[in-house]
Amino acid sequence: MNKKRAMALLLTGVLTAGMTGGTCLEVKAEDKPVELSFYMMNSPVNDQERIMEKANEIIEEKIGAHLNLIMVDGSSYAEKMNLMINSGDAWDLCFTASWGGLNFYENAQKGAYADLTELLPKLAPETYSRVPEGLWDGVTVDDKIYASVNYQQWGAASRSGFKFRKDLADETGFDWASLKGKPTLEILNATGDFIGKALEAHPEMIGWETSANYSLFANSPLHWDMEEVGDVATPGWIRYDDPGTVINQFDTEEFMEFCKIMRDWYDKGYVRKDGATVKDTSPDRKAAKFIAEQTTGWPDSIDFEGNADAEKMSMCTADIAPAVAVSNTRTVIKAGAGANAAVAVSSQSPNIEKAVELIELLNTDDELYMLITQGEEGTDYVYGEDGTSTLVDGKYNFNFNEWQLGQSYSPEFTRARYDNNESGEKQKESQSIVFAADKEADVSPLSGFVFDPSPVKTQIANCSSVITEMVPALSSGSIDPEKSVPEFIKRLEGAGVNDIIAEKQAQLDAWSAES
Amino acid sequence: MTKKKNHILSKSIVHIIFIAASLICILPLILVIGVSFTDENSLMMSGYHFIPKVFSLDAYKYVFTGATSVIRAYAVTIFVTAAGTFLHLLFMSMLAYALTREEVTARNKISLFVYIPVLFSGGLVPYYMLMTRYLHLKNTIWVLILVQLVSATNVLIMKNFFRNIPQSLIESARIDGSGEFRTFFSIVLPLSTPSLASIGLFVAIAYWNDWMTCSLYIETPKLHTLQYLLQSLMNNIGYLQANAGASHSMEQAILTLPSEGARMATCVLAIGPIIFLYPFLQKYFAKGLTIGAVKE
C-alpha cells in the first residue's frame, strides 16, 4: 500500500516537474529568437561562423529567427536524413529531392514533411509565384504540397545534347552543326567517325567517357525521347510518342543499338578499357582528355552564341578544351523537375510557420542569399580589373551548393555571382532564353503522377542489383551485347521486372482515369 | 641429399608465397604514399607512379590549410582513442572481475544481461533514438567514446583470464587487510597486463577507425574524426557524379572537392600514428591471442 502511494506521489511529482519545465521553456522562447535548424548537403566550409553570424543579424531583424545551418557530407546526407526522420529526431528544415536516396516522395507519403499547401501562398507569396505552375506538381503528393521548389538559375525544362572539342572538329572537318535535332543513335554514329579521325592525330586522348556511375542510356532517358516512371534507375520508362504505355527500357532496340556502338568503340579503343569499374572520371575531365561528351546544358552553340557553358568541355576552361554544343532532344519539363531540388519543413517542427517565413526570406532577400552562398565581396570573392569574379583561396566557399538553400533564379539576375562584364551579360542573356523556354516547354505527360514503389519493393531491389552489375559493363562496351543483352533481359525477368512494369502501368492507368 | 633439396624447395615455395602476400599488402601503401607526394598535373597526365615523377608537397599543404581541418580532426581522434581505450579497459575489466567473484551473488543474472546483446541487437533506428532522444548525446564528443565503452566479447575474454588468477592470492590479500578496490588495482590488474595490452590494442584500433558513429551523431565540423573525413572524401565524388543531373552546380561542386593527391595525403595521415602502435605492442600480441583459449 505504502509503496503504491509513494509511487503515485513520485509520478505526480515527475509529471508536474515536466509540465512546469515545459512552460518555462516556452516563456524563454518568446524572449529569444526562434531557433531553426536547416540540414543540407555540403562539404566542410571555411569561416562558416563569420558568415552565419552576419546572416543571422539579418534573419533576426527581419523575422525574429535564428538559423542553424547544418552541413552534412554528400555521401552520408541521404542516410542521415532518413534516419533522423525514421527515429523522430528534431529538425526544422531540410534540403530534399527525389534522387540519390533522398526519397522525397516516400517521406512525404509517410507524413514526415509538413503540409505547405496553404502556408506557402500565405507566408511565402513571392517564392510561390516565381515558380512555374507545373513544377509544384512535382512536389505534390495526394493533392498536398510538401516542399518549396528551389527554382534554379539553369531553368526547369531539360534539353539534352552533345559537346564536341571545337579545335578537333575544325581540324578534322567534322560537321557538328548538321547534327542538331537528330536522333541520338545517328549522332553517336557520326561521333564515332569523328572520334576515330581525332584519335589518329591525338592518340593520347580518350574518345568518350565511360564509367560505373553514368550510362548515356540508363541515366539519360531524355536522350532517347523517353522518360522514367518513378526513379530513373528502376525499370519501367515511357516513350514520349506513346506516353500511356510503360516499357522495359532495356528491352528496346535503342538499348541494343547503343550497346553495339559502345562495343564497337571499345574494340576500336575509343573508350577506356576499365570503363565498367571506373568511379571517378574527374581527373580525365580536368586533363581535357575527352573528344566528345553528352551535355544537359543549353542553349547550345547554334541557338545562342556565347553561352560560356557550351563553349568548354566539362570541368575544363575554354582555353585548354574549347567546345561546341548541339542539343538534339525536345525541351520538356519532366515530371520529377519540381522534386529535383526542394526544401521541406518537418511536420514535427514546433515552428512550421516560422520555417516557411524563413523560406520566403531566403528566396526573396537577395543580400542574405548572396551572403550565405557567396560570402562577402572583397573578402571571399573579388572582381578583377576586367570584371571577372573569382573566389579567394582559403576563404568562405559554399562549394556551389546554393541551389539546395533556395531559388537561385530571380527575374533581375541578382541571386548568383555574375561577372561584371560582357561575359556576365552573355550568361544572363543565355539564362533568360532558358526561362522564356520554361514557359513554353512541353510539360511531361507524367506531370503530377507519383509512383508508389512499395508493392514491388523486393522486385525493385532484385532488379537493381542486376542492373548495377550489367549496365556499367554493357554501357562501357566491355562485354558483347549480342550475347549479353538477351541474357541481361532474361535475368531481369527472373528478378521480377514484369511485376514492376505491370505495377507502374496499373498505377499510371488509375491515375490517368482519375485526372 | 634429396631430402635436403626437398627441404630447400619447400622452404623457398613457402617463402615466395609469403613474400608475395607481403608485397600485396605493402605495395598499395607505398603507391598511396608515392601519389600523395606527386604533383597534381603530372598525376593527371601520366597516372600513378611509385616514385613521383614531379615531386610536390602541395597535397599536404592543402590538407593542412584547407577547410577540412585535419589537425583538429587529429586532436579529436587522438583524444577519443586515448580516453576511449583507457575508459574501455577500466570499465570492461571492472565488470569482468566482478563477474568472476563469488561474492557477487547475482553474477549469473548480470552475465546474462551482458551476453544478450551479443546475440540480439535493436537495429539502427532504436539505437539512434536512444542516443539522441534519451541520452542526448548527439553532437558531443562523448558519443564517440560512450558508444563503444563496453564490449561483451572483451568482457568474456577478460573474465576467462581473471579466472586463472589463483583465488588464494585474493584471499590472502583480504586477510592482510586490503579492500576490494585495492586488491583489484594493486594485485589483479598488474597481473593482467598482457591481456590488457592486447585487448587495449584492439580497442584502440577500433576507436581509431570508427567513422560510423561520427557520421551518425556529429554535426559540427569541429568534432569530426579523421576517419570520417577520409571516408567522406573518398565517397563524395562518386555520389555527386552519379547525381550530377540534378543541378548544373553539381559539376562545379565536384571541382571544389580535394584533388586525388590530397585524398591520398589524408590517407597517409590517417594511418600514420596507429601503425606505430603495432611494433610497440607486438610483444604482447602472441601472448594475448591465446588468452582465455588455453586453460592450465
pLDDT of residue B3: 67
Nearest to B150 by CA among B215, B71, B94: B94
* Mean pLDDT for the stretch of residues A409-424: 86
pLDDT at B2: 63
What backbone phi and psi angles, to 5 degrees, belong to A24?
-55, -45
Considering A298-312, A342-356, B208-222, B256-270, the range whose residues carry the highest mean pLDDT is A342-356
- pLDDT, residue A13, reads 43
Q: Report whether B30 contacts B189 (CB < 8 A).
A: no
* Closest chain A residue to B244, measured at CA: A214
pLDDT of residue B286: 60
- For residue B231, the chain A residues in CB contact (below 8 A) are 75
Task: For residue B249, give the chain A residue with the closest CA.
Answer: A400
**pLDDT tens-digit series, residues A360-389:** 999 999 999 999 999 999 999 999 888 888
pLDDT recorded at residue B68: 58
Q: How crowded is the C-beta side of B276, counted as CA atoms within 13 Å?
A: 5
Pairing of strands A381-383, A65-72: unpaired
Per-residue model confidence (pLDDT) at position B88: 95
**Torsions phi, psi of A34, nearest 5?**
-70, 130
Average pLDDT of the residues in A390-401: 85
Do residues A355 and A38 touch, judged by C-beta distance below 8 A? no
Confidence of residue A424 (pLDDT cuts 50, 70, 90): confident
C-alpha cell at A479: 562485354
Binary contact (A43, B243; C-beta < 8 A): no
**Rg (chain A; Cα; Å):** 26
Confidence of residue A237 (pLDDT cuts 50, 70, 90): very high
Q: Each residue of A43-55: b (16+ CB within 10 Å) or e?
A: bbbbbbeebbeeb
What is the C-alpha to C-alpha distance for residues B212 and B215, in angstroms, rounded to an integer?
A: 5
pLDDT at A51 over 90: yes
Which stretches of chain B drop beneath a pLDDT of 70? 1-3, 66-68, 245, 283-296
| pLDDT of amino acid A345 | 96
Chain A residues in contact with B232 (beta carbon < 8 A): 43, 73-76
C-alpha cell at A293: 561528351
* pLDDT average, residue stretch A270-290: 89
* Residues of chain A neighbouring B247 (CB-CB closer than 8 A): 152, 154, 340-341, 403
Q: CA A99, B232, B213 angle in degrees (round to 5)?
A: 100
pLDDT value of position A471 = 95
Domains plus CATH for chain A?
30-153+335-422 (3.40.190.10), 219-267+449-515 (no CATH)
Nearest Cα residue in chain A from B128: A87
Distance of residue A44 Cα from the nearest chain B Cα, in angstroms: 6
Start and end residues for every CATH 1.10.3720.10 domain found in chain B: 65-289
pLDDT the model gives residue B292: 53
Q: In A252-356, where do the E strands start and end?
A: 292-295, 323-327, 332-333, 342-345
CATH class of the region B65-289: mainly alpha
Quote the minimal CA–CA distance from B143 to chain A in Å.
Answer: 16
Rounded-to-integer distance, Cα B227 and Cα B77, Å: 8
Of B125, B235, B252, the CB nearest to A86: B125
Chain A residues near residue B251 by CB distance under 8 angstroms:
314-315
Integer Cα distance of A161 and A181 in angstroms: 9
Q: Do residue A43 and residue B245 have CB atoms under 8 angstroms apart?
A: no
**What is the ipTM for the molecules in this complex?**
0.79
Query: pLDDT for A177-202, tens place per residue?
Result: 999 999 999 999 999 999 999 999 99
Contacts 24+ apart (CB under 8 A), A351-354: A351/A34, A351/A36, A351/A65, A351/A92, A352/A114, A352/A119, A353/A119, A353/A123, A354/A34, A354/A36, A354/A63, A354/A64, A354/A65
In this prediction, residue B66 carries a pLDDT of 63
Say what the pLDDT of residue A17 is.
42
Q: Contact A309/A297 with Cβ under 8 angstroms?
A: yes
Q: What is the predicted pLDDT for the residue at A239?
A: 96
Q: Do the Cβ atoms of A434 and A474 come closer than 8 Å? A: no
Q: How does pLDDT run across A83-98, given as a tens digit for each residue? A: 999 998 999 999 999 8
Nearest CA distance, B35 vs chain A (angstrom): 14
The pLDDT score that the predictor gives to residue A209 is 93
Question: Which positions in chain A touch B226 (Cβ < 8 Å)?
Answer: none
A213–B241 CB contact, under 8 Å: yes
Angle at B231 between CA B227 and CA B237, to 5 degrees: 155
Question: What local confidence, expressed as pLDDT, does residue B284 receive?
Answer: 67
Q: Which of A160, A213, A312 to mutate to test the interface with B (most CBs of B within 10 A)?
A: A213
Distance, in Å, from the CA atom of A82 to the CA atom of A349, rounded to the nearest integer, reads: 16
In angstroms, rounded to a whole number, what is the distance separating the alpha carbons of residues A302 and A105? 38
> Are the beta carbons of A399 and B253 separated by less than 8 Å?
yes
Query: To probe the interface with B, which of A280, A285, A296 has the most B CB atoms within 10 Å?
Result: A280
Angle between helices B260-289 and B193-209 (to 10 degrees): 160
Three-class secondary structure of residue A346 per DSSP: strand
Q: Identify the CA nearest to A72 among candidates A100, A99, A45, A97.
A: A45
Query: What mean pLDDT, rounded, does chain A reach?
Result: 88
> How many other CB atoms are there within 10 angstroms of residue A135's CB atom?
22
- pLDDT over 90 percentage in chain A: 59
Residues B237, B20: contact at Cβ < 8 Å? no
Rounded Cα–Cα distance for residues A283 and A279 (Å): 11
Given CA atoms A212, A213, A215, A218 in this order, what sign does their dihedral have?
A: positive
Q: CB B44 to CB A397 under 8 A? A: no
Look-up: residue for cell 576517419? Answer: B227
- Rounded to an integer, the average pLDDT of A125-133 is 89
Chain A contacts of B216, Cβ < 8 Å?
80, 83
Nearest chain B CA: its distance from A403 CA (Å): 7
Higher-scoring residue by pLDDT: B187, A488: A488
Is pLDDT larger for residue A242 or for residue A46? A242
